[in-house]
Amino acid sequence: MLDTLINRNALEALAGGTAFQRGEEYFAVGAVGRLRAQEDKVFAKVEGTETYQVELWNEDGELAGDCTCPRAGDGYFCKHCVAVGLAWLNELGSASPSSDGPGRKSAKAKRRDPWKDIRQYLETQPSESLIEVLLDVAQRDDRLFQSLLLKAERTQGGGNAEKAFRRAIDDAVRIRGFIDWREVGTYAGNIDQVVDSLAELLQPDSAAMLVGLAEHAIEQIENALEQVDDSNGEIGGIVYRLGELHLKACTMAKPDPAALAERLFRFETTLPFGLCSFDAATYKTPLGKKGLQRYRELAEVEWHKIKPRTDDKGYDTHRSAITRIMERLAEASGDVDELVAIKAKDLSSSYRYLGIAEILAKAKRHDEALDWAERGLKAFPDRPHDDLRDFLVAAYLKRKRNDEALQLTWIQFEERSGLEPYKKLHEVAGKLGIWPAQRERALAWLDQAITKEAASTSRWKPKPSTPNYSLRVSIALWEKDLDAAWTAAHQGTCDRSLLITLAGKLEKDRADDAISLYRRVIPAIVDETKNSAYEEGVRLVRRVGDLMKAKNKLGAFGDYLAELRVQFKPKRNFIKLLDDVVRSMTFAK
C-alpha cells in the first residue's frame, strides 16, 4: 500500500536533496490540487510553470512516480512528485518529520476511500439525477462529450455511426502548426480517447466497421506525425495499439481477402513511418490462401521494377519497403534460395554479402556461406565490414586455415588499434596456442604506433606531442597487470578515466600510488570550471582523504586541502564543496 511506501525519507531518497527542497516549497504554497486515490495509485495536479499531472504508485513494492514536466520526462523523480507525496502525508495527518513513526498507523485507520464514498452515494441516486450530472460535466469536458456521443451513435447504428467516428478521428488528429514535445501529451490524450471508443467496436456486429475506421485512423496519424515531435513515443504507442485492433478486427470480420491484401500492401509500402506492420505474415490468418496469393502478386510486380545495385546510392524508402516485404514472404515460405536471390539484388556493401553468408550458414550450407563471405571481402578490399571478417575468421578456424584466420585478425588490429581488436587477437591466437608470442608482437607494434603518432606533425598538429599511452593502460587493466598499467601511465599522457580506474584498483595494496594518481587528475577536473566537474573533483579529494586517514596522515591531508584552496581560490563553488570536506574531517596530527 502507498501508506507504507510514502514517507519523507523515501521521497528525498528518490528525488535528491535539491528537488526534495523545491517540492517542499511547492507543497507549502498550496500548489498541489485535490488528491485522487485509486487502488495503489494517487493522482493530483501541481501548479508550476504550467499545470502538471502527477501520479504516484506502488511498483512491485517500491514507490514510483511520473509527471508531465520535462524533468520527469528525462526519468527523474521530480519536485512535483515530491509535492504530491507530501500532500498525501498531510492528508493522513502525517506531513511532519515525525510522520514516519508509530503515528502513521492511527492516521491510516482514519483515512476514507473517496471513490468508495462516491460510489455509495451514486448508487442511492435516481437515474434522472445521474444523467443530469453527467450531461453537465460533458458540457465542460470535451473528451467526455466525444466519448458519450460516439457511444450514442453506435447504439443508434447505421451509417451515421461510422461518420461520427470518422469525424471524431479527424478532429482529434487535425493539427494547426507544429506540435512540440510540451504539447504532445494533450494531443496524444485526445487521440487516445477516440481509440478507447474504437476499441468498443471490437464486437462481431461492428468489427467490419472497425476495420475501416482503424485503417483511416492509422493513415491520418502517420501523415500528421510529420508535424509532431513524438520523441517520447506517445503517438507511436497509440498507432501500435490501433494496429493490434485492426488485426483483431480483420480476424473477426473476415473481410474480402483480395481487397484486404491490396490495402495492406498499400499501407506497408506508402505510410511514411510504418509504425505497425501490415506484412503478409502478420495477417496470415485473415488473408488466407487467396489473400496471401494476391499480396505476393502485388509484391512481385513491384519487385521486378527494382534494379540490382552494387554501389551505395543512399537510402531508398520504396526499395527498402518492397525488399522487406519480399524477404518476409521468402522467410514465411522457408525458401532459402529465394531469400538469397532477394538479398543478392543489393550488393552495395560488404555487409550485404555477410547477410547472405549468415542465411546460408544457418541453413548448414557452409561452403556456399564461405564463398559469399569471401566474395564480399574481394568486392570491398579497402572497406570490408569487421563483422564479415569475423565471420571469415571463424570459418577459417573451423577449416584449420589458421594462417588466414590470424592474418585477418591482425589486419583488424593494425587498422583500428584498440582494446576490442586486441581481445579478438587474444581469442584467435589463444585458440591456436600461440598467444604469448602474438601478445609480445602486438605490444611491440603498439609501442611503435604510439611513438610514431606522437612524433607526427600535420596542419592541425604542427608540433610533436607527448605519447598517449591510454590504450596500453586499458590493455594492462584488462589483463589485470597493475604493474604494467602503472608503468604505462607514467610513460606519457593517459585518459583521465583510466587513471581513476587504475587508482581504484591500487587502493587496497598500493595506497600511496593510488593517492598520487588521484592527485594527478584532480587539478585537470577542477579546471573544467563547471559544477559537475567540481563535484567529481571533490569526490576524488574525499577518496584521497580516506586513504590518507587510513595511513594516519590526516595532517598531511589537511596540508593538501590548503594547497587546493590556494590553487583554486577563484573557483568559489569548488571552494564551498571543499569546505564541506574540511568540516567532515578531524585533522589530528
Contact 176/164 with Cβ under 8 angstroms?
A: no
Question: Which 3 state secondary structure label does DSSP give 39?
Answer: coil
C-alpha to C-alpha distance for 68 and 25, rounded to whole angstroms: 19
Q: What local confidence, expressed as pLDDT, does residue 105 receive?
A: 44
Question: Which 3 state secondary structure label does DSSP give 583?
Answer: helix
Q: What local confidence, expressed as pLDDT, does residue 98 receive?
A: 41
Phi, psi torsion values for 32, nearest 5 degrees: -85, 125
pLDDT(49) > 80: no
Place of cell 604493474: 483
Q: What local confidence, expressed as pLDDT, does residue 100 receive?
A: 46
- Give the tens place of pLDDT for each residue, 287-305: 999 999 999 999 999 999 9
Phi, psi torsion values for 540, nearest 5 degrees: -70, -35
H or E segment to which residue 47 belongs: strand 41-47
- Give the tens place of pLDDT for each residue, 87-135: 998 887 644 444 444 444 444 444 556 667 778 888 888 888 888 878 8
C-alpha to C-alpha distance for 518 and 507, rounded to whole angstroms: 10
Place of cell 594492462: 476
Judged on CB neighbours under 10 Å (0-12, 13-18, 19+), 65 is: buried
C-alpha to C-alpha distance for 558 and 564, rounded to whole angstroms: 10
For 187-219, give one letter per residue: b (16+ CB within 10 A) or e: bbebbbbbbebbbebbeeebbbbbbbbbbbbbb
- Give the tens place of pLDDT for each residue, 51-94: 888 999 888 888 999 998 888 877 889 999 999 999 998 887 64
User: Which residues, including other chains, have CB under 8 Å from residue 453's CB and lie 6 or more apart?
Assistant: 467, 468
Q: What mean pLDDT, rounded, does the chain reach? A: 89
For 338-374, give one letter per residue: b (16+ CB within 10 A) or e: ebbebbeebbebbebbbbbbbbbbeeebeebbbebbb
C-alpha to C-alpha distance for 50 and 68, rounded to whole angstroms: 10
pLDDT(286) > 90: yes
Tell me the average pLDDT across 488-505.
Answer: 96
- Give the tens place of pLDDT for each residue, 197-218: 999 999 999 999 999 999 999 9
Cell of 545: 582523504
Among 16-30, 134-148, 186-200, 232-246, the least confident range = 134-148
pTM: 0.68
User: Which residues, including other chains, have CB under 8 Å from residue 311's CB and lie 6 or more apart?
Assistant: 348
Q: Cα torsion at 541, 543, 548, 554 (round to 10°)?
A: 50
pLDDT(478) > 50: yes
Contact 33/44 with Cβ under 8 angstroms?
A: yes
C-alpha to C-alpha distance for 63 and 416, rounded to whole angstroms: 47
Tell me the average pLDDT across 400-416.
Answer: 96
Q: Is the dihedral of CA 378, 379, 384, 390 positive or negative?
A: negative
C-alpha to C-alpha distance for 67 and 53, rounded to whole angstroms: 6
Spatial strand order of the sheet with 41-47 comes to: 36-38, 41-47, 51-59, 62-67
C-alpha to C-alpha distance for 563 and 500, rounded to whole angstroms: 21
